[in-house]
Structure 1
């Protein structure tokens, strides 16, 4: 397993600190499933899953339980469970974009993973959407409720971003970067970038993740763009979200390419 270090505000953050933040989010999402579904529905999806036991268990056990619940509920079940949250968050996103008048807030971190290849990771990551590997997409972060590749090549995302009180749904188009305000850094030759939009094409943000090989390590400069009026605590919290998901994706890519 690579010794991954994340840098938030240029301060090195240990993998153990990132996992501690992930564990807090895992418990919060598990409790959301209990409150929204009830114990009878959870027992139908996962008869052997005891929520109290899982809440007291290690992070790997909690990750596995969340994947079981999300995949067992299915896309329609996720939509139904979160329907009010998604309707509200879409309205909020539209208002925030309009009120921001083109201004952007950025959530930015760096990640360094010794012994990993930037190109190999980028190929693995891009292939998640191509082959629609939903398990690896949702397993990377407790707040990922639904991530899947669509037939038109875009990615559908239902997640709680940063410190938001509710999940949101959007699409990521990795073929279009015209709306991004973050320029490509020529020192990072590998770009994973695209705009985030709603079903009618309304752009609400975007991502520019930039990768390179440096001194025998994968170095990633990860950026998410939010509307400028997005509350600062939410933008700041999303840096931990990035650290969790990309750390877990890097580990997953290594374990699968080393087979």
Structure 2
């Protein structure tokens, strides 16, 4: 499939090449954090190095490697959420595809979650360290949120919309949404990603809710994070077939 993806941030169209350049920059940062020396500046090779290293470390190795970051970021996230008293800031990125349907992409995403295809989820963007589906159906995530210097550890419950503050845009009939909580159960924010078919493809309005007191650079950086991860996931969904590689 000759798939094209248009990225829109703050009303401005961003060339796909710039999104890939952002991904390459983050790949170099993450490889260093994981103790790996890049062997090339080619993005495809950097992606393979990241995949190899994360597979070797596994979830327990990743958690051990990032334990000091998480020991700082986890209580900071809870404190920021509590001091924000439920008020939120919204981080939004839009993607428009030239082909495919919203239903097809959501089915791919949901299947990845159901069969716990961590490899496909990690491949979204370099800043993903762990994305696994737990026995209760929640998605456990360790990632660097946008412009944050530290990795974060949280769980998303896609059956729980109770504390989301973002309004539903009814021009988008489909969504992937859920509350993000700390390990102790504190609501940190959430996601409301909405989708609609448009022309020969579809439009994704990707939205993350952060506590009101979040640093502005985290929001700005996470717009690029969303562009990277969902752009790569969309390409995987339509160019690579099923989540198990078939």
**Same fold by TM-score, threshold 0.5 exceeded?**
yes
Q: Could you say which residue in structure 2 is the equivalent of 1:247?
A: 231
Name the Cα RMSD after superposition.
1.2
Number of residue equivalences: 242
Q: Could you say which residue in structure 2 is the equivalent of 1:139?
A: 123
Unaligned runs of 5+ in 1: 35-41, 43-50
Displacement over 2 Å in runs of 4+: 256-259
Q: Could you say which residue in structure 2 is the equivalent of 1:58?
A: 42
How far does residue 200 in structure 1 lie from its aligned partner after superposition? Answer: 2.2
How far does residue 185 in structure 1 lie from its aligned partner after superposition? Answer: 1.2
Q: Could you say which residue in structure 2 is the equivalent of 1:110?
A: 94
Q: Secondary structure at the match of 1:30?
A: helix
**Aligned pairs for 1:18-57 within 5 A:** 18-34=19-35, 51-53=37-39, 56-57=40-41
Unaligned runs of 5+ in 2: none
1:68 and 2:68 equivalent?
no
Q: Which has the larger radius of gyration?
A: 1
TM-score, normalised relative to structure 2? 0.96
CA distance in 1, matches of 2:198, 2:41: 37
CA distance in 1, matches of 2:41, 2:9: 28
How far does residue 52 in structure 1 lie from its aligned partner after superposition? Answer: 4.1
Q: Secondary structure at the match of 1:219?
A: strand
CA contact (8 A) 2:4 2:98 kept: yes
Question: Which has the larger helix fraction?
Answer: 1
How far does residue 202 in structure 1 lie from its aligned partner after superposition? Answer: 1.0
Q: Deviations over 1:51-72 (max 9, x none)?
A: 242xx33111111110111111
How far does residue 33 in structure 1 lie from its aligned partner after superposition? Answer: 1.2
Q: Could you say which residue in structure 2 is the equivalent of 1:39?
A: none
CA distance in 2, matches of 1:97, 1:153: 24
Compared CA separation, residues 164 and 22, structure 1 to 2 (3 A): same
1:92 and 2:76 equivalent?
yes
Larger deviation, residues 172-181 vs 98-107: 98-107
1:83 and 2:78 equivalent?
no
Q: Could you say which residue in structure 2 is the equivalent of 1:199?
A: 183
CA distance in 2, matches of 1:183, 1:175: 17
